[in-house]
């Protein structure tokens, strides 16, 4: 299951994580965000030992998206060792997300 992150716990749960974290910047009203959500849930279960999948609602948590320059959603960012390692913007199929994770992590 994907982890929920907020402005309050982002530093500890994402930047301080010992393993890579994929953060999905999303919102309830975003169709493409809802479209990729099941794929991210499946990947969270399949790749739990390799990477943490986290979701950050941009409407409820405006500080982190601004800090990382999120302009459109869904935006997916992989954080490794407290730094952004890769970014993808827009919806994509599960296989493409997994391929991207595998090539980054």
Active-site positions read 30, 33
The single residue listed with the structure tokens 């982190």 is: 64
Selection from 82, 54, 58, 80 nearest residue 69 by Cα: 58
C-alpha to C-alpha distance for 15 and 54, rounded to whole angstroms: 12
CA angle, 83 then 36 then 81, to 5°: 10
């Amino acid at each position: 299951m994907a982890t929920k992150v907020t402005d309050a716990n982002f530093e500890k749960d994402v930047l301080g994580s010992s393993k890579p974290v994929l953060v999905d910047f999303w919102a309830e009203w975003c169709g493409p965000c809802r479209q990729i959500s099941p794929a991210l849930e499946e990947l969270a279960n399949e790749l739990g030992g390799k990477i943490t999948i986290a979701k950050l609602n941009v409407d409820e948590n405006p500080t982190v998206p601004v800090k990382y320059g999120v302009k459109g959603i869904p935006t997916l960012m992989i954080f490794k060792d407290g730094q952004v390692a890769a970014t993808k913007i827009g919806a994509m199929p599960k296989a493409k997300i997994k391929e991207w994770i595998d090539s980054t992590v």
